[in-house]
Each structure stands twice: as C-alpha cells, then as structure tokens.
Chains A and B, each alone.
Chain A
C-alpha cells in the first residue's frame, strides 16, 4: 500500500466515480449526487479509504477554477457588460436579502453579532460548481434561467472579496488596520490590471509561438500554466481563484485559440470537478449527523428553504415567467464552497468557535446533496404541473388529449414545422426543455409541455397514446435517436417523422425504421445554391430545374451510400458520384441546347 500511495488514491477515486456516476445517471439522479455519494462512501466516515480530505478538497478546487475559465471563454467582454444589470441587480439582491435573513436567524439562535454576520454572509453564497454542473448537464446554461443563475453566481464570486477582507477586521484589530486594507485594495487592483493587460497583449503572441511548434502537450501545458499562475496570483491578494481564471477566460474569448483551449481544458475540468464533488462528499462529517440528526437536518432544511424563498422573490422582481421560478431557485439553493473557506478563515481568527463551525460545514455540504434531489422533484412533479395546470393549458385539457401531432423540440426547426401545421388548423402538442421557448409559444395558443421528451411519462401526459404522429425536431442527433427508441418501445402506433442532422444521422434513423426524415440543412442550402445560379445568369426556371435535378441525384446517392456502409466505400462512392452528377448535369444541358437550337424557339 505504501509504495504508490498517490496511484492507489487515484485508483480509488476513479473506481468510485466510474461505479457511482453512471449508476446515478442511469437512475436519473444526476452526476453530482453520484460523485457526492461516491465521496461519502470512500471517505473517512465511510470505508475510510481516503483520509487527507482537506488536501484533496484544496487540490480539487482547481476544477472550479478551470470551469470558470471555460465559462469565461464563452463570454466576450461586451456580452459581460450587457449583463451588468442582471449581475448587480439579481446577484446583489440575492446576497443582501439572504444575508439579512440569516443574520436575524443567527442572532435569534443566540450567536454574537460578528459570528452571525460572517455566517450570514457565508451562507448567502451558492455553490458555483454544483449550480453550473447541474445547468450544464441539463443543457440549460444558455437559457434565460441559466444566464440569470450565472449572473448571481458571478456576483457572489465578486462579493467574496470584501467578505474575506472584513473577517480579519472583526477579529484581531491589529491585523486589520486601515493601511493594511488600503494596501490590500491596491494589490487587488494591481493584480487585476496585470491580468487584463497581460491577458490582452501577452498571451496571444505566446500562444501563436507555441501553436507554431505543433506540440499539443506544450500548448496544454502553457494553458494550464497560465490558468494556475493567474489563480495563484489572485489567491495571493485574497481574491477568488475562480474569479481570476474567469477574468482570464473572458480576455481570451475573442482569441483565435479559443476553441482549441476549450477542447484541451475540458477533460481536465471534468475530472477535477468530479474530484471536487467527491472531496465534498468525503468531508461530510457523518459523525455529527448521527449524533444530532434532527438538529443538523432541520438546519439544512432551514438553509435551503430561506435561500429558495429569497431566490423566488428575486425571480419575481426580475419578471421571470412563473414556470422558471423553481429551476432558478433550486439551482442556487445550496451553500457554497466559499462558505468552507470563510468558516475556516473565521475559525483561524477565532471569531467563531469550532462548535459552531463544525455542524455548519456539515449543513453546507449536505445542502449541496439536496440540490440534485430537488432538481429531480422539479423535473418529475413541479414542471409537468406547470405544463398541465397553467391557465392556457388548463381550460381545454380534453382537446389537448386528442391532438394528432406531437412535436418534440421547438427550436428554430420545430417552430417552422409547428407554425406550418398551426396555420393549417392542425392541433399540435409541443415538448421542449427550454422554458423561454415554452412561454413565448404559449402566448400564441400553442400547447407546450416542459420536459425531457426522452421520458415516456412526459409523452404519456402529452397525449402520445391518442396522437397519430410524432415529429422529432430536437437539434441534438443523439437525443433524437433516444426519443425515437423510447417512442418505438412505448408508443409503437406513432408514425415518427424526424429532423436528421446529416447523412450519418439519417442512416441511423433509417436503421430504426424511420424513413420520414429531412436532412436539416439540405433544402435551405439548395435554395441558396439556386440563388447563386441566378446571380450567375441562369434563368429562374433553369436554376430551379438544375436544383431539382441535383436534389434527385442527391437522393439516389443517399440510397446508394446507405446500402454500402463501410466508411472507405462511402468516400470512394461519393467521389464517383460527383463525376456522375457532372455527367447528369452536362447531359441535361446538352438536352436543353438541343431542344433550343433545333426545335422550338
């Protein structure tokens, strides 16, 4: 055991993750809970395979740093500036309101004012890691709710800085005199300026030089070096490491290396985030929980409930649509990893006694495990409830049950299909997992259900038993296949039509017996090609005719390709087919010339 302690530890982490996460995913509980449980099992309170929890937690926090870096990459400075109202308004509102409530509760529970203040501020923060991982897994990061949640998290990350700064002030007065605070502020400003200037002017040329060497591992090494350096620099001046790397990400959002960075950093992020969750799971002190289960659990409930209430108030103030309240509130309802940091800091300064801190750490960790459970509740009970009992869907549930058409996915593609049918008075039931889309569509009298169309229960409540056809318009190829597999199994009477991503996806659809499909880009690309022919001087009818011939040919080529599935063969036939098409068009042109020159003018 002692020869390779590191490797053995890694083995344990990987093994627990590989077992727990797929299991929890399969049960629909989400990966976060899987990691947390895996951590609890291998940790000191479980099988005690791992003991140095603190170190692991610190190391794994780097996963959050990478996560924020990647999110920064997606957000250009301009976009960030556009979000400023959301960030300050929603984030500020949430932090201040929650802090005030927890402060009152803490005082009421008999704590002194300084402990109460620090605890209140710490508990107002949510877990960036859990919230973003949850949103990401549900594909909701780019939705309105996702943006709002992210704005709040961003503000919290910023709010940590003054919180960390005032803790020393409240403890030993010698540690926190004014000149120290001033120089600390100066340091912070200096470091931020350094990151901005360096990120803007220095990194790009260096990336260029490194990219020219064509050594992938050096590119990765430099990327990680950069992020670690910035994170440490930020940490040094008492700022959140995650915030620093987020800043670096934003600065690189316009860089030409953005996509490469995303691809290379992503696996590291995934693994470290997993480790982070495992570490949280390990750090839950089950001893305390067993000693005082009622006390701890009621504190967890109190924490989550207060946060949920405040978040719902915030959602109301910012005019969310009602169906989005629960998701937004649940995602941010847990205590965050910064609470650990702040508690530890306050403990070191002897502002709060260990007897108060220990149960609080358990409460925060447990609250993180509550989020995936609440999400589950939301998916299965709350959101379907909104779909069924919202005022519009309410008054004609019977009619709803008899809709002949179900459309899964109401994005750019599904909307056109839906509108065309709607315009012809065909009643459709629409399924989508994007709340914004749903509210917009409901206003115009579409019957929209929120949820994951892969779940047979949702299809059942959407009236799949009495529907005739289902049109799958989701944009993710794999999700479309999953929906179709499920529908074939549970609702075999449905005729399935599907949007196909490309030829390969269309082959997959054919394999499943779905022959009513449309390749999503084909028609519009041909229309644009036809316009190009027009610009090149073709007559309108001739251009249209040439496009039709191309379309026919493409169809027969598709059939031919489907029958020969080896990749090698596909390539050679496609080359052969190009020659063939040229022949067809040339032949067609000859025919036209002959007809025009010799026959009818």
Chain B
C-alpha cells in the first residue's frame, strides 16, 4: 500500500513537472530568406535549410556531420551488378505531416517517390512547370537527365531507379536536397483546387519539423512533427530568425535573441570564443574560394600570364587578411584536404613578384579586370576586400586592376559569359562529398555558361572527369582525380585561394548540434537545456 502510494506520488510529480516544463524552443539566426519551400527548385543553402532539411526526407540521408550515407525513407537498397538499377525498399508506415491546410489520408508509398522524380524530368507532369519561371536547376546541374532513364513503382513500398549509364556518385546524389520526397496526394489535391503554387509556399513533407508560419524576410516557424517516422525530435518549436546582416546576427546571439547562428564574420570568432555563455563549434569546410581566369580572352588566355598573375599574389598574407589568422588555409588544390583523392604532392604556390613582373612585362600585360560581388560567402567573407588586396599585389608588379563590383545574382550571370574579361572571384561549397562535384561541376566543359567561370575546355581534363564518373572503384577514381589536380596546377585555369573553416557559434544551452561538412544546418538531433 505504501509502495503504491509512493508510486502514485511519483507519477503525479512527473506529470506536474511535464506540464510545467516549457515547450522546448530553438531560435536559429539564419543568413538569408528562403526563395520558397520547394526543395527541388531551390538552389541556395539557406533554401535547403528551410525546406529540405527540416520539412522533408530523402530515400538516403547523409549521416550527421559526415558525407557517408545512411537509410532515410528507404530502409535498404540494392544496386544491380551492372550499376544500372537501384532498388529501394521504403520504410513502412511513414506519415506525412498534418497541417491546417492539408490532412493526409495515406502513408508514404512508391507513388510519392515516383512523383518526386518524375515532376523534375517529365514535361507532361502537371508539376513540371507549376512555378512559371523556375526550373529544376539542381536536377539538371547534376546531369540527372542524362543518367536517369526512369523511376518505376515495383510495389507499394518498392521503387526502382533505372539509369542509362553507370554513375558512381548516384547514391550520394540521391541524398541531396533536390531528391527530397514530396507528397503526391497533396500535389493532387492542389491540382484539384487549382492552387498549385501553394506547393512552394505551404509545404507538406515527412520530415522532423512541420511548417507553421512564415513572415516574409523575417521569421519562419516550425513545430516538431509528432508522428515523425524516426520518432518525435527533442525540440518542440524551431524558429528561423532571418538576419542577413552578419553583425546584426552576431549581436542577436550575444543578446540572447537567438540560440545559434550561421556564418559569423571570421573577425568576430576570437571574441565569440572568449564569451563564456557561448560555444563555438568549428569544422574544416568542404569548400574552396578561387579566382577564375578567363582562359579564352586575352591576356589570360596565355597560361604563362595566368601563372605570373598568380605568382604575384602573396597567398598566405591574402588569406590571413581576409579570414583572420587560423580561420582558413591557403588552397593548393581545388578540392579541400579532407576530401578523398586530395593530392598532397601538389607544390605550394610560388610567391615571386620579381619573376612575375618580368614575365608580365615581357608579355605586355599592364591592365586587367578584377571582379567582386557584395555578398559574404563562407569561402570568401568579403569579395571587395580580397579584390583590394589582390589589386595592391598586382599593382606592385605593374598590372593595374580595375575592380568591377556587381550585385550577386547579376554577378554570376556576367561572370559566366564566355567573353567576360579578366579574373573572376568565386567559390564553391560541396553538395555531396564527391570530387566529381568539384571537378566536373566547376571546370567541366559542360559547365561553360554556368559554373565554369574560367571557360576552360581542356580535352585531357574532360577525359579524366568522364572516366572518374564511370569508374566504380574508389582507389582507381582517386588516381584519376589526382591527375586532374596535376593538370589544373599545370594549366592554372584559376588562382586557388582558400579552404575556410566553418564556425557555428551557439548558446551553451544548445545540446547535440553537429557541424555538417556539406554546410547544411540540421536541427533534428538538437536539444536545449532547461
């Protein structure tokens, strides 16, 4: 009897404690507004954080803090011996989110998976062009149209993806944001009511958090999805406080207005680390900042000029002035040192202004255009500042650089034009941890007009990146990419600047946050201390 009483008391106390406990809330100060909430049409990391990584899931997922894969909506998968058929077994009983604008009547099944891919490549799919001026940019950029032949429903919980040719990075690609699985039932409902565009503004997914509200350019609110197939997450509410200004973001964190922030200014890291209320996590970023020379327009069409220009820049001093001591390391290869196939044998960039001056004088180079944009990126916190430093270094070897500063969207359009003169500062953050995602996407001939800002079309390099994708043995692939790096060092299509460390400052009460090498911000494994 006494035991019974004690038990009752304990239960009552637990109940009281639970009732009194505040809802667990995390406020994340993010760097930009999402364009919308359709992960397949988005392109920015901030778009993905707000949709793909919160509201949605994929067949396979990247492990937290790693580029390896783990099961997502698919419990298991098989790849046929010829590398052409990928068969996925879906997790049974996976629920879609119930919101005030949609109540699902069925669980996730193969139809949803088929729809999620077909809308991206079948032009007769009603959702192929539901937002008039958007397109499935990532699907195209990852060359999916040439690889994926069809996506077939085998049974309710089995899906088969059939390829045209083998493609080693395919599985990793399916863990990327554009491959998020959406609800066909919801899409059909929107078609019936003629409100297709709601698909991008009122999202419904299977993910850890569900959409509650979005105040344009200021706050996104999410609530934990109670029936999440991996179990409800620890947080109850997740809030994105959109704060594009880096200084304001930092101050908000310091003032306790948010619990965690993205992309602090490298110059504030030291003082943030000193703050005893905060923890600053860091991780070598899977990124590279560089400066593309246009290899088709004089004077940078001459490899010796390119090398001389690079030689004139004091790279360590540039990197330190730009990022602050210890926040980035000078780059010698396109891929960061943490990525497999990194070529350690590549020699450090020679800094020799006298020799550079001689060569440039002999070649008659006296003027050059130098491009900069207004946006802070993790691989380059201030294009304008790096431009001013490089300008000064080039002035010392008798080359007068004119800085063109252009707004970020227009910048990339201008930069991709094949007749763009001079040196163009840019960079890249990896999407899936595969070297192909750097070499082919940034310097492949297919990327001329988009990401290949050097307009570099080298037959030998083309063959290497093609072989790299077809080969399935990782050691052999690594050897191929080492050759690609040697070729880039010899041809200098770009001045490689830095691989930066990514920092994530947060309040001490944030528990369990892991940094992500792919620069994603995921909160499904985060908890807050009371």
Tell me whether A and B are bound partners: no
